Amino acid sequence: MPGPRPGQALVAEKEIVARVGELGREIARDYAATNLVLVGVLQGAIPFVADLMRAMALDLTIDFLRTSSYGSGTTSSGTVKLVTDLSVDIAGRDVLIVDDIVDTGHTLAALRRTLEARGPRSVRTCVLLDKTGRREADVTVDYVGFTIPNVFVVGYGLDYDGLYRNLPYVATLDGI
Ligand code: IMP
Ligand code: MG
């Protein structure tokens, strides 16, 4: 039996390009004359970080970390493990955590706590997509691309069982 496949586009490529450009300009204004480190959450944040950083006319550093994932399922466990750590020291620096989506909020809440313990000057968060209806953890998301309903999505970094991250748009998943 064939597995689930990407269905209808929920956020079109054109909308993503426009919104990421806006976000980049807004963030660049907010972080003028700071010492910014963009921290991407692997692997989902790869396209977003790549596009966002090029929309920011600013001197900045990028780095990545990896957290334990959902595995092949589509629901969060609430336990978040840091599997691969940063390679830069963030003490005294302005950190912006960039992820593809905030769902329950456990990932961003845990990452924020972990990184705040390292003495950065500031820690903020930025996501392309926000499923507000699913929040369990109390976490502030400072920059949001799009608020979406409670549906499982793939594309532009988001996967189902490791697939569909390379789609240039965000789609719902059919047959799930
Ligand atoms: P949270 O900890 O529940 O906020 O989940 C955050 C992580 O879950 C994201 O970084 C994604 O990797 C994954 N995730 C949440 N919702 C979706 C979805 O609709 N599609 C694909 N991955 C998702
Ligand atoms: Mg993720």
Q: What is the pLDDT of residues 67-123, one digit of tens each?
A: 985 544 455 556 788 999 999 999 999 999 999 999 999 999 999 999 999 999 999
Testing ligand 1's pocket by substitution, the residue of 77, 101, 131, 139 carrying the most ligand atoms inside 8 A of its CB is: 101
Q: Which ligand is nearest to the CA of 165?
A: 1
Q: Which residues pair with 39 in a beta bridge?
A: 63, 97
Per cent of the chain over pLDDT 90 is: 87
For range 27-45, the mean pLDDT: 97
pLDDT(156) > 60: yes
Which residue bears the tokens 């998301």? Answer: 141
What are phi and psi for residue 112, nearest 5 degrees?
Answer: -60, -45
Q: Is the dihedral of CA 135, 140, 145, 147 positive or negative?
A: positive
pLDDT band for position 134 (50/70/90)?
confident
